[in-house]
């Protein structure tokens, strides 16, 4: 029974008490969303960093439709299927890590990575190595383990009693990278250090904080010197967002464990993978059940989701995706140059296809009223932009047109009226 005046859907990251409108979208194409009354909205954040090429890519949609009539679901414990085999082979070829473990969201890919890391140490006779090192301001998902390795704050304060302890290195601010290196070095040198998990080049939910490839390379080198497993969470940065297929590529880094989700299907189906190097896999390999990696979920490697991801790999191989990314990157650079001249806007920054900026405002936290006012402003302008506190960013699908992107840049500039007023 519905409750009068209360929605049946409890929306994520939404305070229903604010009574903000919740528009209904009927269809999507490219970078456009269409409401039920036909209004077009520009999807400037790829529907939460997921849609890479554009909505409803015909090739990916066709692969989903085709697979749905052949094999819709299969238990992956002890059984296998062609879409999973093709996808795993494709991922291994692309990323240089030989083993692929499937799951269904970025959060679970992170949970799997942490379990692999601790399993590695326990199975190799070093069970005391069980501390996880993380970076300040990180976000790795909303399940308990993923929250534990992410920044603590208003989002997870209520669950603090459930979160496990981690060791944190400071964010590598420009000019103070040495502080991060020294902290990482000291923590890696401890006898109980198991792994370091980090978002390469861009800390997304933490505020689109960026650091250069050389810093990533140095952090990976510190971990390697101490035998600490290096886990790259490329759930957001993967699939071209930072300009290269993986952000790690720019630093010449191959992680020991790699988490991918979001863009793996081009954004059409929920799917995630955790890739592991030979040592991590071999630590779980035994002639008996003793070292088995005990993790699964019902939809592990769902065939329809895998077929979408196989089609995504084909799109990357056969369509000019890298050229689209280069074009978008250049247009974002033009937009960044314009936005940097706007009073009230600071810290305009770009990494590949991602553009971010901060509105200059005193003491604006996530819970202040700025965020809802910005949301309403962008909604009225017909652009889907969802600020993080006083930080706004664009992370559009790669096929977004020049005019649409210019409208997004203009909306970001015009929103300074809200902080003045
Ligand atoms: C979004 C995100 C996650 C969580 O992915 P979900 O699919 O939302 O569970 C993990 N890590 C990073 C870096 C992310 O941006």
Ligand 1 near 110 CB (within 6 A): yes
Q: What atom in ligand 1 is closest to the CA of residue 141?
A: 4
Note whether 267 and 50 are within 8 A (CB): yes
Ligand 1 near 207 CB (within 6 A): no
How close is the Cα of 48 to the center of ligand 1, in Å? Answer: 9
Which pLDDT does position 366 carry in this prediction?
47
Which pLDDT does position 341 carry in this prediction?
98
User: Long-range contacts: 247-250, Cβ < 8 Å, 24+?
Assistant: 247/200, 247/201, 247/202, 247/213, 247/216, 247/351, 248/200, 248/216, 250/201, 250/213, 250/216
Ligand 1 near 235 CB (within 6 A): yes
Ligand 1 near 103 CB (within 6 A): no
Considering only CA atoms, which of 45, 21, 19, 18 is closest in space to residue 388?
Answer: 45
Which of 140, 246, 259 maximizes ligand 1 atoms within 8 Å of its Cβ, making it the mutation to test the pocket?
Answer: 140
Which pLDDT does position 332 carry in this prediction?
98
Which pLDDT does position 368 carry in this prediction?
66
Q: What atom in ligand 1 is closest to the CA of residue 203?
A: 13
388 forms beta bridges with: 391
Per residue in 214-272, pLDDT (tens digit) is: 999 999 999 999 999 999 999 999 999 999 999 999 999 999 999 999 999 999 999 99
Cα distance between residue 134 and residue 118, in whole Å = 15
| Residue bearing the CA closest to ligand 1, atom 8 | 106
Q: What atom in ligand 1 is closest to the CA of residue 204?
A: 15
Which pLDDT does position 363 carry in this prediction?
61
| Residue bearing the CA closest to ligand 1, atom 10 | 140
| pLDDT beneath 70, residues of the chain | 363-368, 420-421
Which pLDDT does position 371 carry in this prediction?
85
Can you say whether the dihedral through the CA atoms of 238, 46, 25, 33 is positive or negative? Answer: negative
Give the number of other CB atoms < 10 A from CB of residue 157. Answer: 8
């Amino acid at each position: 029974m519905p409750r009068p005046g209360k929605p049946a859907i409890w929306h994520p990251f939404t305070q229903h008490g604010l009574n903000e409108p919740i528009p209904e979208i009927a269809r999507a194409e490219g970078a456009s969303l269409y409401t039920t009354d036909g209004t077009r909205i520009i999807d400037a954040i790829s529907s939460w960093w997921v849609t890479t090429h554009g909505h409803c890519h015909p090739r990916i949609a066709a692969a989903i439709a085709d697979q749905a009539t052949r094999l819709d679901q299969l238990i992956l414990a002890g059984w296998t299927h062609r879409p999973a085999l093709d996808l795993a082979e494709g991922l291994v070829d692309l990323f240089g890590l030989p083993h692929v473990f499937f799951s269904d969201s970025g959060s679970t890919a992170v949970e799997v990575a942490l379990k692999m890391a601790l399993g590695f140490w326990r199975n190799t006779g070093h069970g005391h190595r069980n501390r996880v090192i993380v970076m300040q301001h990180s976000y790795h998902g909303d399940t308990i383990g993923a929250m534990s390795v992410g920044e603590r704050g208003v989002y997870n304060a209520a669950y603090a009693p459930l979160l496990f302890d981690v060791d944190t290195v400071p964010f590598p601010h420009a000019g103070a990278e040495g502080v991060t290196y020294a902290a990482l070095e000291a923590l890696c040198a401890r006898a109980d250090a198991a792994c370091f998990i980090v978002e390469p080049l861009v800390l997304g939910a933490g505020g689109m904080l960026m650091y250069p490839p050389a810093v990533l390379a140095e952090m990976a080198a510190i971990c390697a010197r101490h035998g600490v497993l290096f886990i790259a969470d490329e759930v957001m940065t993967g699939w071209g967002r930072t300009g290269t297929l993986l952000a790690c590529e720019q630093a010449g880094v191959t992680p020991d464990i790699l988490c991918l989700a979001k863009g793996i299907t081009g954004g059409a189906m929920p799917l995630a993978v955790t890739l592991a190097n030979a040592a991590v896999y071999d630590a779980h390999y035994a002639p008996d059940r003793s070292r088995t990696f005990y993790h699964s979920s019902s939809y592990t490697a769902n065939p329809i989701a895998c077929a979408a991801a196989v089609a995504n790999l084909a799109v990357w191989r056969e369509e000019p995706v890298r050229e689209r990314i280069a074009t978008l990157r250049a247009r974002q650079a033009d937009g960044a140059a314009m936005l940097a001249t706007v009073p009230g806007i600071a810290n305009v920054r770009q990494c590949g296809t991602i553009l971010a900026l901060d509105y200059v405002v005193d003491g604006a936290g996530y819970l202040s009223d700025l965020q809802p006012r910005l949301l309403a402003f962008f909604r009225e302008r017909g652009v889907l932009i969802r600020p993080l506190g006083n930080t706004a960013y664009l992370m559009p699908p790669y096929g977004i047109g020049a005019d649409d992107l210019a409208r997004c840049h203009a909306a970001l500039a015009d929103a300074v009226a809200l902080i003045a007023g």
